[in-house]
């Protein structure tokens, strides 16, 4: 039996029962693929189901407010994904009557959709002959073909895309793509792959030559960056100040608690903003209440949390106007809804402890 047929048959028997596989519809497949970027299946499933229940189609997503979409995205991180999802839904409603186009180039023009996501949607929803290439598929194909180049290097994507195209089962492209991804997620694991259970075992270069520990080669090109930051909870009675600053390195376009890097920074884009520096000058002895660690991509941050009651808000208002910073006041109970990031949840724990 040829390997394409073997992996197809294996998938029909062993595929996981996942909600976005129930129907071949582009919208739920699209949402699931975007959510699964940087997120494991088990972690995204409850959030996916709640998101689809609230935004069941492109029209409902397009007509929503950004803040509500971000609130439903809370826990997944990388909030630009949610913003782009909403922008793309608006574009689909305005230009395609809410339907997902079937042309690869048209799909690639949608905000937030790259080569992998476009190919996944078109193949799974419409059975169009496009081979996908994600992290799991890269690992499977590298071992299968004996590809020894660094799969994190820029050359690997084009090399492995060629191999993915060559290996594609054009009769069942959607199931074939999902089978390769499933294989990488469940059997062809980064460490200790389960080769005895793999349908491609008889054809796999790495298994035959006992090189599954060496292939694929992964060399990270970016080193982890260590940063120290201060984050401020500014209180006016029971209200807490959130701001939205232009040109932020992190939390772009999001209302957030005022924060800034302290100490040495690797480059100017990490430097504290003029607003943050001005804020520190006008605060009178803010109270330190704790510290926590936080990770954003390859950045390891340590946040020091300060609380400062405000006797008057005129200086703050003047400061926000001076530096073109938007602001709004929220309650403690709505903090992590208005600032939908795990950062807010971590700060909120300190504030709840202070209240108890």
| Cα–Cα distances in angstroms (integers) from residue 94 to residues 58, 60, 80, 88, 102, in the given order | 10, 13, 21, 10, 16
Per-residue pLDDT reduced to its tens digit, 93-138: 999 999 999 999 999 999 989 999 999 999 999 999 999 999 999 9
Indicate if the pLDDT at residue 4 is higher than 80: yes
CB 172 within 8 A of CB 8: yes
Omega before residue 9 within 30° of 0, cis = no
Query: Can you read off the two tokens belonging to residue 297?
Result: 């991509």
The candidate with the shortest Cα–Cα distance to 229, out of 212, 196, 251, 199, is 251
Please, what is the average pLDDT of the chain? 92
pLDDT, position 86: 96
End-to-end CA distance of the chain: 67
* CA gap 48, 319 in Å, rounded: 39
Task: Give the rounded percent of residues in the chain with a pLDDT score beyond 90.
Answer: 72
- Split at pLDDT 50, 70, 90, the class of 303 is very high
CATH number 3.40.50.300 is the correct assignment for the domain at 133-221: no
pLDDT, position 221: 61
Domain ranges in the chain are: 25-126, 133-221, 225-355
- Split at pLDDT 50, 70, 90, the class of 257 is very high
CATH number of the structural domain 25-126:
1.10.340.30
Domain at 225-355, CATH from 3.10.440.10, 3.90.180.10, 3.40.50.300, 3.90.79.10: 3.90.79.10
Fold identical between 25-126 and 133-221?
no
pLDDT, position 315: 86
Catalytic residue annotation: 33
């Amino acid at each position: 039996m040829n390997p394409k047929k073997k992996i197809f048959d294996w998938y029909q028997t062993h595929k996981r029962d996942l909600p976005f596989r129930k129907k071949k519809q582009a919208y739920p497949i699209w949402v699931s693929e975007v959510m699964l970027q940087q997120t494991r299946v088990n972690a995204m499933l409850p959030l996916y189901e709640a998101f689809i229940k609230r935004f069941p189609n492109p029209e409902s997503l397009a007509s929503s407010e950004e803040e509500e979409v971000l609130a439903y995205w809370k826990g997944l991180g990388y909030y630009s994904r949610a913003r782009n999802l909403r922008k793309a839904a608006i574009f689909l409603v305005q230009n395609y009557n809410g339907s997902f186009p079937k042309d690869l180039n048209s799909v690639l023009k949608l905000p937030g959709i790259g080569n992998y996501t476009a190919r996944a949607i078109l193949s799974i929803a419409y059975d169009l002959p496009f081979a996908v290439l994600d992290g799991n598929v890269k690992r499977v194909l590298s071992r299968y073909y004996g590809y020894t180049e660094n799969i994190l290097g820029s050359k690997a994507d084009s090399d492995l895309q060629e191999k993915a195209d060559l290996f594609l089962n054009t009769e069942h492209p959607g199931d074939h793509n999902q089978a390769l991804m499933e294989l990488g997620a469940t059997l062809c694991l980064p460490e200790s792959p389960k080769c005895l259970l793999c349908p491609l075992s008889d054809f796999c270069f790495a298994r035959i030559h006992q090189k599954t520990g060496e292939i694929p080669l992964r060399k990270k090109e970016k080193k982890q960056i260590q940063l120290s930051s201060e984050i401020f909870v500014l209180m006016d009675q029971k209200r807490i100040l959130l701001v939205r600053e232009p040109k932020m390195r992190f939390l772009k376009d999001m209302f957030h608690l005022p924060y800034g890097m302290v100490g040495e920074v690797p480059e100017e884009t990490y430097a504290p903003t003029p607003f943050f520096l001005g804020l520190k000058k006008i605060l009178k002895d803010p109270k330190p209440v704790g510290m926590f660690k936080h990770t954003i991509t390859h950045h390891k941050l340590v946040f020091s949390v300060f609380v400062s009651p405000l006797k008057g808000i005129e200086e703050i208002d003047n400061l926000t106007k001076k530096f073109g910073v938007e602001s709004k006041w929220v309650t403690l109970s709505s903090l992590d809804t208005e600032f939908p990031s795990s950062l807010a949840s971590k700060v909120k724990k300190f504030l709840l402890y202070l209240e108890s």
